[in-house]
């Protein structure tokens, strides 16, 4: 089976959680699955920008990205964060190849059209998964940072959830799993919703039950499902050990997003 796993920056801050996630991914590969790991690094990028004297600004969960912020994102996401994940997998004997979305022209982006303008924030418009296929044939895990190259020659900061959904659709993944620092999607009563239909997402947005970073995440879930990904689940990183059982047994953690 093919899995795309998205790992958020907050999880990368916790050495034990990172260890658990890397072990679960290594186990998936050991069981004969192909796994692509897509990662963010918002926490690390915000910290670096603060050290540079820049204040981070977000609109609807997306980072406003001027040229200096974009260059910092290249350095942090495609550099330190990406290579730390390669090292974490290597610690479990699992070979991995670190990439940005621009390497091999795997993902092409265009500037995201928004009001107000977000700067160098992009959205994926094309993909070529041949490099991912080549890495899988070697038994390795492609580790992809959420940076993509535009047709205008500029690099764009892409929301990592959107990148993961695009990756899952491009490689016809059987499952897309978002490993997060939250237990799942909470409903109006504050309880975690074990099942969520894509038809419910807009209602939850309008009533502001979901806000901030959960907005692009659920939008990415919807896009993945509409592009043929069979299963999409938001799963707390602390239970990453259940990943190898996700498609073969009943998993009660997190939120399963489904087409109605």
Q: Which parts are annotated binding residues for substrate? A: 41-42, 63, 157
Strands 58-59 and 62-63: antiparallel
- State how far the Cα of 140 lies from the Cα of 126, in Å rounded to an integer: 23
- State how far the Cα of 86 lies from the Cα of 81, in Å rounded to an integer: 9
Q: Which two tokens stand for residue 79?
A: 């550099």
DSSP-derived secondary structure for 86-123: HHHHHTTT--EEEEETTGGG-EEEEE---SS--BSEEE
Helix (H) or strand (E) holding 131: helix 130-137
100 alpha carbon, distance to own chain's centre? 13
Binding-site positions? 41-42, 63, 157
- State how far the Cα of 105 lies from the Cα of 34, in Å rounded to an integer: 20
């Amino acid at each position: 089976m093919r899995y795309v796993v998205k790992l958020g920056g907050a999880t990368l801050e916790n050495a034990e959680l990172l260890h658990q996630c890397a072990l679960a991914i290594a186990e998936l590969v050991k069981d004969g699955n192909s796994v692509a790991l897509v990662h963010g690094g918002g926490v690390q990028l915000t910290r670096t920008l603060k050290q540079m004297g820049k204040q981070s600004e977000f609109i609807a969960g997306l980072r406003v990205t001027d040229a200096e912020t974009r260059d910092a994102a290249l350095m942090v996401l495609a550099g330190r964060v990406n290579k730390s994940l390669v090292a974490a997998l290597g610690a479990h004997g699992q070979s991995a190849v670190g990439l940005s979305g621009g390497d091999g022209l795997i993902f092409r982006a265009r500037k995201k059209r928004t009001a107000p303008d977000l700067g160098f924030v992009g959205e994926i418009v094309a993909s070529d998964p041949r490099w991912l296929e080549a890495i899988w044939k070697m038994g390795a895990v492609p580790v992809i940072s959420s940076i993509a190259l535009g047709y205008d020659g500029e690099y764009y900061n892409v929301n990592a959830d959107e990148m993961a959904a695009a990756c899952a659709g491009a490689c016809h993944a059987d499952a897309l799993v978002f490993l997060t620092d939250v237990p799942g999607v909470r409903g109006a009563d504050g309880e975690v919703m074990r099942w969520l239909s894509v038809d419910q997402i807009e209602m939850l947005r309008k009533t502001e039950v979901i806000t901030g970073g959960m907005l692009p995440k659920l939008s990415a879930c919807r896009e993945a499902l509409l592009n043929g990904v069979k299963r999409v689940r938001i799963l707390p990183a602390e239970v990453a050990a259940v990943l190898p059982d996700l498609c073969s047994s009943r998993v009660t953690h997190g939120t399963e997003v489904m087409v109605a």
